[in-house]
Amino acid sequence: MIIRSKAPLRLGLAGGGTDVSPYSDLYGGAILNATINMYAYATIEPTDDGKITFEAPSLNIKEEYDLASELPTDGHFVLHKGVYNRIVKDYSGKPLSFKMSTYVDAPAGSGLGTSSTLVVAILGAFVEWLKLPLGEYDVAHLAYCIERCDLAMSGGKQDQYAATFGGFNFMEFSKDDKVIVNPLRIKQNFLDELSHNLLLYYTKTSRFSSKIIEAQTNNVIKKNETSIEAMHKLKEQSVMMKEAILKGNVDAMGEILDFGWRYKKQMAKEITNPALDNIYNTAKEAGATGGKVSGAGGGGFMFFYCPGVSRYKVAQALTNCGGEVKWYEFTTEGLRTWTM
């Protein structure tokens, strides 16, 4: 028997950072994101040899443990072991013997939510294997708790819900820690135009999002007025983006992205750097009307809105910045699991 799962990575289109505590706890947050056809994958093969094996074939990394109810969350495969520990503690009640293999279509630190999406994929594989009665909200919330509480990793709440639900979603994060996912019904011609005009660019750099998020968090704790006001503006941006997309005013997206990028940079100084500023300016000079870094910032993927046929000039101009344009499509499905 083989159990498999896949969960999509996401583009954070608007409101990024307002899903991060303590801002979301104090003021409430709002995010608009969309999943793309890049995935995190997990495969479980149950065994009877009394061993627990994790491997990442593409990285040539492997760890093996004797059967245990709790594994140490250090070394490689921290996310994998965090999920396993919670599954045994809350659901199976006994150690499980298996081999798990995982793969992600984008590198760590890319800004596409790779870590959280991988947690969702791993969790989904266990849900499929053990036939656990968990719905979409349950899976997303449990993935969040494992990553943020059990493993004490810094970050927000949007990625787990994006990977689980899939598609275009307007997400609301209330002060009482509730999350509401509002799927957007977008006409296909609007989606086609958006996919054509939104250019995805990999800077070929990575970053530790936790450091950027910690800086952002500290600004809220210290009541940095500039940073907090910037987050308020980004929350407004998510509503602006939602209305523009639903009404088919797709070309307004560039200006809305540009509006958001100006404020996102004020959340924490680590969000941008001279290299990213140069990429952004190069894209705008070539015809893009706006864009942003995907995720926390500091590196990874960027995307730009290119109206008309300007995407071709923008893509050509960006080749001189050391990165590469990536082809993608938006997806409508979230976490998928199956058994063979």
Report, as residue numbers or ranges, the catalytic residues. 159
CA proximity to 160, closest of 97, 82, 243, 230: 82
Alpha-carbon separation of residue 323 from 264, 272, 303 (angstroms):
22, 16, 12
Q: Compute the CA torsion angle 82, 84, 86, 91 (nearest 10 deg).
A: 170
Task: Give the pair of three-digit tokens for residue 316.
Answer: 């050509």
Q: Indicate the residue type of 245.
A: I
Q: Which residue has the tokens 């509503």?
A: 239
CA proximity to 324, closest of 211, 205, 215: 205
Alpha-carbon separation of residue 45 from 2, 52, 97, 131, 298 (angstroms):
5, 10, 9, 15, 37
* Range 313-333 burial, b when 16+ CB lie within 10 A, else e: bbbebbeebebebeebebbee
CA distance 115 to 119: 6
Asked if 52 contacts 64 with a C-beta cutoff of 8 angstroms, the reply is yes
List, in order, residues 6 or more apart from 236 with CB less than 8 Å away: none
CA distance 156 to 144: 8
CA distance 101 to 148: 23
